[in-house]
Amino acid sequence: MTGTVMAGGVTQTLSVTADSRPAVEAESLAKSYGDVQAVRHVSFTIAPGEVFAFLGPNGAGKTTTVRMLCTLAKPSGGRATVAGFDVARQPKAVRRRIGLVFQEQTLDDRLSAEQNLRFHAVLYHVPADQVEDRISRVLRLVALDDRRHDLVSTFSGGMARRLEIARGMLHTPRVLFLDEPTVGLDPQTRALVWEDVLRMRTEEQVTIFLTTH
Ligand SMILES: Nc1ncnc2c1ncn2[C@@H]1O[C@H](COP(=O)(O)OP(=O)(O)OP(=O)(O)O)[C@@H](O)[C@H]1O
Ligand SMILES: [Mg+2]
């Protein structure tokens, strides 16, 4: 064996990715509503393929931060980029590259799982010749392929949540934002959601930004 010197037992690892730009970067990002400072100058850098958890109690500014990164709210200070594009100056380029799962449920429960996904495919301009493949793939990723034709009104809370995650991935985003993906779920369903999220990361090389308490 050849000798390897390890200072203090620490080995250095280098990872090289095709795109070395951060997937998400925030620098002193801030948002105020009148006198309320919803987000107070947060800074972070997220590498491509990372699962980044944004933690904080009620009212800490998690949803507001997600809204700024997803171009739904205008920062009042600082700057942020997503997939290399500035959220304030290049909102369209950012929107094309992100998926978003809101804290509140936003499925149409009078439609089937597949119909919800088809509607989203139209809104997000998924090329017609790819829609079928993407629907099958994302349903498989969250293990709901056997419920494809069922009305969402017949789904459990956990199944609806997992369908929303699938929908967020339908248009192959670079970064998937999940606001409180496991809130209100029992421990077993929560574990399923985490498995879904990690499977998305591995199989679709997506960067995950999630908030949680
Ligand atoms: N549109 C708005 N107008 C005024 N104040 C707002 C608005 N949106 C958020 N706020 C305030 O900003 C602060 C942060 O809210 P935010 O929803 O970002 O918190 P959160 O961390 O997501 O909380 P929760 O864990 O309850 O979801 C709160 O004080 C909230 O009242
Ligand atoms: Mg919130």
In a domain, 203, yes or no: yes
| Model pLDDT for residues 114-148, shown as the tens digit of each residue | 999 999 999 999 999 999 999 999 999 999 999 99
- The answer to the question of residue 29 being in a domain is no
- Its pTM surpasses 0.85: yes
Query: Could you tell me if 190 and 178 are in contact, meaning their C-beta atoms sit under 8 angstroms apart?
Result: no
Taking the C-alpha atoms of residue 90 and residue 103, their distance in angstroms, rounded to an integer, is: 25
If one counts the domains in the chain, the total is 1
Query: What CATH code is carried by the domain that includes residue 137?
Result: 3.40.50.300
Residue 1 resides in a domain: no
pLDDT value, residue 85: 97
| Structural domain range at position 153 | 38-212
CA of 91 to the centre of ligand 2 (A): 22
Q: Per-residue pLDDT tens for 6-44?
A: 333 333 334 444 567 899 999 999 999 999 999 999 999
Question: What is the C-alpha separation between 164 and 183, in angstroms, rounded?
Answer: 14
Does ligand 1 lie within 6 Å of residue 58's CB atom? yes
Q: What is d(CA 56, CA 187) in angstroms, rounded to the nearest whole number?
A: 20
Of 62, 76, 101, 213, best ligand 1 pocket probe by most atoms within 8 Å of the beta carbon? 62
18 domain residue, yes or no: no
Residue 207 lies in a domain: yes
Q: How do residues 67-114 score in pLDDT, each as one tens digit?
A: 999 999 999 999 999 999 999 999 999 999 999 999 899 999 999 999
Q: Is the CB of 54 under 6 A from ligand 1?
A: no
Please state, in angstroms and rounded to a whole number, the distance separating the CA atoms of residues 174 and 85.
12
CA atoms within 13 A on the CB side of 27: 8
Q: Indicate which ligand has the atom closest to the C-alpha of 40.
A: 1
Question: Which residue's CA lies nearest to atom 5 of ligand 1?
Answer: 33
Query: Residue 131 falls within a domain, yes or no?
Result: yes
* DSSP assigned state of 49: T
6 is a domain residue = no
Query: Could you read off the pLDDT of 44-61 as tens digits, one per residue?
Result: 999 999 999 999 999 999
